[in-house]
Every structure is written in structure tokens, then in C-alpha cells.
Structure 1
Amino acid sequence: MADRLRVAIIGAGGIARDVHIPNYLKCGKKVEIVAIADVVREKAEELAKNFNIPNVFTDYEQMLAEVDIDAVSVCTPNKFHYPATIAALKAGCHVLCEKPPAMTVVEAEEMAYEAEKAGKILTYGFHYRHAPQVEVLKRFIDAGELGDIYAARVIAMRRRGIPGWGVFTNKELQGGGPLIDIGVHMLDTALYLMGYPEPDTVFGVTYQKIGNRPGVGIMGAWDWKNFSVEDMARGMITFKNGSSILLEAAFAANTEKIDEMSVTLMGDRGGADVFPLKIYQEKYDTLIDITPSYLPKKGFHELEIERFVDACLTGREPLSTPKQGVRLQQIINGLYKSAAKGEAIKLGEKGKE
């Protein structure tokens, strides 16, 4: 077993600066960040200077060829997840790719195939899986406390939370808006807790009602003239085991709450809300609610990076797997396709969207 992981970063934006690099550094002697690549050299050089990263590149292919690297964090816009991940896997590196897996199902499938072919770890940045609320509830579920989970509701809604930075409102680079950006987090959390069932049919609708005009922005002023994604998406997903999920995701909607990220699960022996955690059961002829009095406070992102490093060094399976990434991509792309066609979409095990 290796005792140190040589890590490189592809993409020098905010997620690399604020999440990946600081949390790799918290791993201490287990990790050495050896290189960073970004098409904008000045951005890469700034992070290299701030975090003492010795090698800077504008071409990640050159970086992979010239530097001895064990693992890569892919922190690019969504459009570039696929090529960067494939290049890193083919170079013999483990990969932590930010969410979503890719832009299309075919890309996600090829990423999973290359990881298996290379014998390398590929995992995705679904940091909510590492939340203490999720970990506690997963133990309850695994012990049968909720029974057969047959229904769920996921919400990722902001009242006026259109990002005023980055490329989050650019469909060409991101593939979509709140569904693929924040909705994907709550959807993945629900799927993980439900055992990642195989999807069957999706029906989705999308709206662009607020983002394409000026307005109040609590996350900075957005470029409304070039707003090319949905500002709200809604959908229903059914699964081959008979379960279903209702989903709502929005960057901007006229609702009371400024920001809501929530998952609700309903099983035949119990139910639960995840954020905050509360479990609902019927026991001894009584309806009861269970809430934890204490939860660990370690950061979700910190645990995500820590566990990726551990998986790379020990060979343990990561919490998020490539197969799950494919299923999630099937659902996301299916919902967008359904919204565009105005009808429900039947999903197969192999996606060709």
C-alpha cells in the first residue's frame, strides 16, 4: 500500500480553490499536490503560488505526460468532465470528478468503462452523501427501520439564487441549470439512500421565467441577456422496483424560503426527512418521531476528499461508483429530453441520449 498520493488538479476555478485543494492539504503527509492545469494560465499560477503547487500547465494532457501523478481532481465546467476524466484514467490516474458525471449518458458510460479497463478509481463529487445526517439515516435504513422505501421527494430550490459568477447559466458548457447543478445533489442523495434502483420512466418539465430578465440576485448579478438554461425544473421518476421520486429544482422561484435543500423518504415501516434529520415511525401503537441529539460536525467536502484519498491508497471502493453515475446521468438527461419533447421518456439500462 502506498503511503502518499501525488495529486493534480484540472481546472483552477472556485471549486478547486475553495474545496479540493484546501481539503487535500488537510490530509497532511498522505497527499502531495504536484501540479495544476487550467486553460487560463494566470488562474493556475495564482493557485500554484497560494498553495505552493510546483507545476503549472495550460494543457492537462501535457501535465499528465510530464508529471508523476497518482490521482486527479477534475474541477472544470461540466462540458469538460468527460475528456479530462478519460485522459486521466488513460494516464493511469485515479479520478475524483466534480458532479454531474458528464453531459450525456454515453459519456458517463465510457467514463465507467475506462475506469474499469484501467483498474482505477473513478468517483464523483456528491458531497451530501458524506453528511452526518445521511450517514446516520443510512444505518437506520440498512437495519430495516424504514422497510421498503417506495416513495421520495427531493427539493433543491432557491428564491433568487442564480449564480452571478462562473458558467452556471451557460447551457453549452453546463448542459442545463438547477436540475444538473443543485438538483443533482439531492437526487443523488435520495437514490443513494434508496439503494440506487434502476430507473424506468421519467417525465420532466422545465421553465425559463425569471432568469432571462433583470432582477434581484442574492448570489450576485447574473448575465440575464445570455441566460440559456432553465431557472426551474420539475419531474417524476419511476423505477423498475416500483418506487418513485418527485423532484423540484430551481435557481429562481417565487417561494417563501430563500434556499431549500431537502430529501424526504417514505417506506412501509418508517419515513424520514434528511435535512434536518427526523425519522417517522409507528411503534407500540404510537406514532413517534426520532431526532438525533448530536451529529458530528466534520465538513462534507472534507470527508469526501479524505475518503477519496483513502480509497486510492487502500483500494477500497469509493462511496460513489461509476455505475451509479451512469444511472444518475440517465435520469438527468431523460428529464431534459422529456421536457423538450413534452412527454414521458422510457429509459433503458444503456442510454443513448
Structure 2
Amino acid sequence: MSPINLAIVGVGKIARDQHLPSIASNPDFRLVAAASRHGGVEGIPHYTTIEAMLEAMPSIDAVSLCMPPQFRYDAARAAISANKHVFLEKPPGATLSEVVDLETLATSKGSSLFASWHSRYAAAVEAARSFLASVEIQSVHIVWKEDVRHWHPNQEWIWQAGGLGVFDPGINALSILTHILPSAAFLRSAKLEFPENRQAPIAADLHFTDAANINIRAEFDWRQTGEQTWDIKANTSGGEMALARGGSALSIDGAAIFVSSQEEYPALYRRFADLIAKGESDVDLAPLRHVADAFLLGERIVVEPFYDRA
């Protein structure tokens, strides 16, 4: 089969660091165009809007949308309306309602819509899921702490309403949690810390239970310097499971479990190609629902101002 003609929209840090290398290494795709207000990709046509790109290049089969979530709905709707397949960087949108609308539109058009959760494709996640399905879970503790100045330097959109703040990385932990737990969890309480000069939280402390009343706690913080922490631990009848380094390492009672060397974004693009080939979509909103619940139930705590440079 001929490669899928793919365009990328939003040529920022995540596109350059992850999407472009993954596309280049996947023979199922041919990168043919880019649309971005500020940057292009060498060697292919560049447009400042997705509308101009779609009009000028009707041969495009699919688009990857890598712009901030506040702007993703209009771009996705334009692409699906033009009968293109759409890859949504996480989170898939700024609200649940707009993503549901996109899924409905994609179904009506016969387009594949992929709400990607890259952390679910980390090397040890499937092994952790299999383990938890075989034991009785007693409690779960997530610690997801990193340095926003390192990962999102001078990116003001993440601090604006709809930018999610610390839930931008925290939703990665929730995407793993909702994938590996055998049953659904429900948020019971939350504390969200908002810098007094920002519209999005810098830290969150979330408490969940499931139908069996298992205690699940998630701690997110964007102020951690030095070594970064992306860990999920579960006390179980089969020992303590530790899913570490963002889902790339797994141990049971301290003993390392062998996992694959799978890389997240190349796996995402293999999944996208498979969805297109099968005429299917993959739009799981569970992680975003948990974030929405946190904003609904969360106690708002105002903390000291945050500036990009300390």
C-alpha cells in the first residue's frame, strides 16, 4: 500500500522532539505538509493555517494536531470535515463536550479519530496491567512531580484557562491509571494549588476510590527540581508493584521485571496507521474526565506567584 500522506499542525517543542522523528521512522506515513503560526519543517510546504493547507493540498490523508488543547477543536473539525483522519496530541481537547462532538463527526464522515495517550505506550505499562489483573489490589499511590521550567520553558498557554497547568503532565499518570486498573475509579476529593498570578494549578492532591473502596491517591507537583518523579505504586496480594520512570520500568517487591524496549511515540504512530487501515477510531476520555472532576470537586488553594525564571 502507498504511504499515508500526513500533515502536522503546530510545529512546536513536542512536534520536533517526538512527532517528527516518529513519523520519519514509520514507512506507513509520508510527511507532506505542515501548518504553524511560527515554524515550519524543512523540505515540505508550510502554511500558517490548517484551512489554507487543506485547500492547497487535497491529497493529504491525515493530520496530526500538536497545538495547545485550547485551539485543537477548530482544527480537528476542519480536518474531519475535509474527510481527513486525525491524530490528537494529549489531552485531546480543552473540554469533554468538544471531543465528543469530534468523535460524532468522525463517525459520520468515516474518518479515524485517535485521542492519543502516549504514556499508555510506555514499555512496562502492559506488564503492569497484566499483573494487577491477577491480584487483589489494596491501595494505589501515584507521585508525579517534575520541573515545569525544564519541560515547558516560557510556554504561557499552559498557565491560561484550559491549559491544565500541572494536569498537563498529571494526565499522563491518569491515562496509565485508567488503563491498568481492572475497575473504574472515582474522584472523592481534591486540593488544587493555584499560583496567585496564574489561571491553572501548579500542584494537585487527588483522592479516589473504586467500587470496592480501594484507596487511590495521586500527588502532582510542577515545582520539583533535580531528579524527576513519575511513579505509580500499588500494594497488592501479590506484593508491592512499582511502575517507575513514567511507565518504562516495573518491579514487584523490588525485583525488576523484564519489559520491552518500546518507545511511546513510534508506538502511537503504529496505532494510528492501524486505525486508519481498519477504518476505526480510538477516543478514550477517561483521563480527561478525571481532570474535569478535579476542577469540579477540587478545593482551590492560592499559593505564591510563579514566574518562569526563578
- TM-score normalized by the length of structure 2: 0.83
- Aligned equivalent of 1:279, options 252, 258, 261: 252
Whole-Å Cα distance in 2 between the matches of residues 127 and 25 of structure 1?
18
TM-superposed deviation, 1:168: 4.9
| Structure 1 residue aligned with 2:97 | 106
| Structure 1 residue aligned with 2:274 | 310
Identity %: 23
User: Deviations along 1:211-260, whole A, 9 cap, x unmatched?
Assistant: x6xxxxxxxxxxxxx6442211111233456455311111115x8x6310
Q: In 2 relative to 1, CA 207–87 (structure 1 residues): closer, same or farther, beyond 3 Å?
A: same
Q: In 2 relative to 1, CA 92–151 (structure 1 residues): closer, same or farther, beyond 3 Å?
A: farther
Q: Give the count of matched residue pairs.
A: 295
- Aligned equivalent of 1:204, options 186, 190, 195: 190
Whole-Å Cα distance in 2 between the matches of residues 267 and 118 of structure 1?
45
Amino acid corresponding to residue 160 of structure 2 in structure 1: K
TM-superposed deviation, 1:72: 1.0
Whole-Å Cα distance in 2 between the matches of residues 312 and 32 of structure 1?
14
| Structure 2 residue aligned with 1:260 | 229
Whole-Å Cα distance in 2 between the matches of residues 196 and 74 of structure 1?
31
TM-superposed deviation, 1:23: 0.7
Whole-Å Cα distance in 2 between the matches of residues 310 and 195 of structure 1?
25
| Structure 2 residue aligned with 1:350 | none
Q: Does residue 1:291 correspond to 2:256, yes or no?
A: yes
Structural mapping, 1:338-349, within 5 Å? 338-339=297-298
TM-superposed deviation, 1:196: 6.6
Amino acid corresponding to residue 191 of structure 2 in structure 1: V
Q: In 2 relative to 1, CA 82–32 (structure 1 residues): closer, same or farther, beyond 3 Å?
A: same
Whole-Å Cα distance in 1 between the matches of residues 262 and 214 of structure 2?
32
Contact 1:264 1:272 in 2 (8 A): yes
| Structure 1 residue aligned with 2:160 | 171
Name the SS for the 1:233 alignment partner: strand
User: Deviations along 1:263-296, whole A, 9 cap, x unmatched?
Assistant: 123445555211131125xxxxxxxx6422x433
Contact 2:124 2:260 in 1 (8 A): no
| Structure 1 residue aligned with 2:134 | 145
TM-superposed deviation, 1:186: 0.7
Q: Does residue 1:16 correspond to 2:5, yes or no?
A: no
Q: Which moved more, 1:161-170 or 1:79-88?
A: 161-170
| Structure 2 residue aligned with 1:186 | 173
Amino acid corresponding to residue 25 of structure 1 in structure 2: A
| Structure 2 residue aligned with 1:233 | 204
| Structure 2 residue aligned with 1:329 | 288
Amino acid corresponding to residue 200 of structure 2 in structure 1: V
User: Deviations along 1:21-52, whole A, 9 cap, x unmatched?
Assistant: 11111013x21111111123xx12xx2x2xx2
Q: Does residue 1:34 correspond to 2:32, yes or no?
A: yes
Amino acid corresponding to residue 204 of structure 1 in structure 2: A
Whole-Å Cα distance in 2 between the matches of residues 57 and 308 of structure 1?
24
Q: Does residue 1:63 correspond to 2:53, yes or no?
A: yes
Whole-Å Cα distance in 2 between the matches of residues 64 and 56 of structure 1?
11
- Aligned equivalent of 2:119, options 124, 128, 144: 128
User: Deviations along 1:327-348, whole A, 9 cap, x unmatched?
Assistant: 3222101202222579xxxxxx
CA RMSD of aligned residues (A): 2.7
- Aligned equivalent of 1:247, options 215, 218, 241: 218
- TM-score normalized by the length of structure 1: 0.74
Gaps of 5+ in 1: 213-225, 281-288, 343-353
